[in-house]
C-alpha cells in the first residue's frame, strides 16, 4: 500500500537547537524522525512513499538524494576503501515520490494535492511525519478492511500532564484529576483510508477536524484504540526524550529491531 506522509509543517515548537531544519528532519540517533516512521512502514512491507512537502522541502530532498546506507548498516570495506560491501540496506527497495504541496497548506489540502499519485488503490495509508508508535500495523489494516469506514485513525490516551478541574456554579471544586485519567482519547494519526476521503475534503479546510467530522456524521469514521507506545515529537523536550530512549537501547517504535523494539511486533515480518 502507498504511504502518504505529511512533512510540510513549520514545526515552530521544535526549532530550539534545530536551526531551520523542518521537524521531520529532527534527529533521533543517527537518523531523522521521518526515516524512523518510514522504516516502521517498510518493516510491514509498505515501501512506496508519497511525501507531502512544504517548509524545509530542500532539506528532505537533499537527505535522500545523498543517503548514506553505511550509517545504519554493517558493511565490509576492501581495496583500501575503494570497494564497499553492504551486509544489509535500508531504502534500496523504497520508492519515494516528493511532492511540493505548498508552504502554508493544511493537511487536508496537502492530501488533495497528491490524489493523482494514489492511483486506483482501494486502500492507502497516511500519517503525520512526527509521531512514533509500536502499534501492530497489519491489525489496523485488517480491522479497517473488514469495516465500511472511509477512514480510520489511531486513538491514543491523552498524554497531557495537565489536570481536569470539576466545580459547581458556586466555584467550589469537587474533583481534581489528571487529564490522562479522564478516559479521553486523542487523534494519534496512523490513518488507513479509502479514496472516499477525497470527497470529504474542501479547499481552505483541514482533514481534522473538518473532513473527519463529515465522515463521522455519516458513520464512516473509525477509531482504533492503542494503549501501547505512542509519542508525538511536538516539542524540543519530546525529541530529547526520544533521543534518550534511543541511546539507552529502549526504542519501542523500532519494531524492525528485535533488541530495541522488543516483542511488540509479535514476530510479524513484512506484509503487503
* pLDDT tens for each residue of 17-51: 445 678 899 999 989 999 999 999 999 999 999 99
pLDDT at residue 272, as a whole number: 44
pLDDT tens digits for range 100-136: 999 999 999 999 999 999 999 999 999 999 999 999 9
In CATH, the architecture of 2-149+187-261 is Alpha-Beta Complex (3.90)
Q: In the predicted model, is pLDDT for residue 182 greater than 80? A: no
Q: Which residues contact 258 (CB under 8 A, 6 or more apart)?
A: none
Q: What is the pLDDT of residues 61-92, one digit of tens each?
A: 999 999 999 888 899 999 877 889 999 888 99
Per-domain residue ranges of the chain: 2-149+187-261
Categorize the per-residue pLDDT at 146 as very low, low, confident or very high, splitting at 50, 70 and 90. Answer: very high
Q: What is the pLDDT of residue 176?
A: 83
Mean pLDDT across the chain: 89
Considering the entire predicted model, what is its pTM?
A: 0.88
Amino acid at each position: 500500500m502507498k504511504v502518504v506522509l505529511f512533512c510540510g509543517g513549520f514545526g515552530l515548537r521544535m526549532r530550539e537547537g534545530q536551526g531551520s531544519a523542518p521537524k521531520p528532519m529532527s534527529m533521533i540517533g543517527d537518523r531523522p524522525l521521518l526515516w524512523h516512521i518510514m522504516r516502521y512502514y517498510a518493516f510491514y512491507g509498505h515501501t512506496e512513499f508519497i511525501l507531502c512537502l512544504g517548509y524545509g522541502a530542500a532539506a528532505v530532498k537533499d537527505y535522500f538524494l545523498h543517503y548514506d546506507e553505511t550509517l545504519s548498516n554493517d558493511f565490509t570495506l576492501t581495496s583500501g576503501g575503494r570497494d564497499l560491501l553492504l551486509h544489509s540496506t535500508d531504502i534500496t527497495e523504497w520508492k519515494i515520490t516528493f511532492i511540493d504541496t505548498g508552504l502554508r497548506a493544511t493537511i487536508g489540502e496537502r492530501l488533495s494535492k497528491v490524489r493523482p499519485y494514489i492511483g486506483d488503490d482501494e486502500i492507502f495509508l497516511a500519517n503525520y511525519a512526527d509521531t512514533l508508535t509500536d502499534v501492530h500495523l497489519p491489525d489496523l489494516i485488517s480491522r479497517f478492511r473488514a469495516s465500511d469506514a472511509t477512514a480510520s485513525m489511531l486513538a491514543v490516551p491523552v498524554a497531557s500532564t495537565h489536570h481536569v478541574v470539576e466545580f459547581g456554579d458556586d466555584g467550589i471544586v469537587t474533583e481534581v484529576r489528571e487529564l490522562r485519567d479522564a478516559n479521553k482519547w486523542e487523534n494519534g494519526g496512523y490513518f488507513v483510508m479509502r479514496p472516499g476521503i477525497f470527497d470529504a475534503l474542501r479547499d481552505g479546510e483541514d482533514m481534522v477536524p473538518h473532513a473527519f467530522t463529515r465522515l463521522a456524521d455519516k458513520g464512516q469514521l473509525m477509531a482504533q484504540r492503542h494503549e501501547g507506545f505512542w509519542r508525538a515529537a511536538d516539542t524540543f523536550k519530546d525529541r530529547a526524550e526520544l533521543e534518550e530512549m534511543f541511546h539507552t537501547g529502549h526504542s519501542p517504535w523500532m519494531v524492525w529491531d528485535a533488541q530495541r523494539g522488543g516483542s511488540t511486533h509479535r514476530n510479524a515480518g513484512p506484509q503487503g
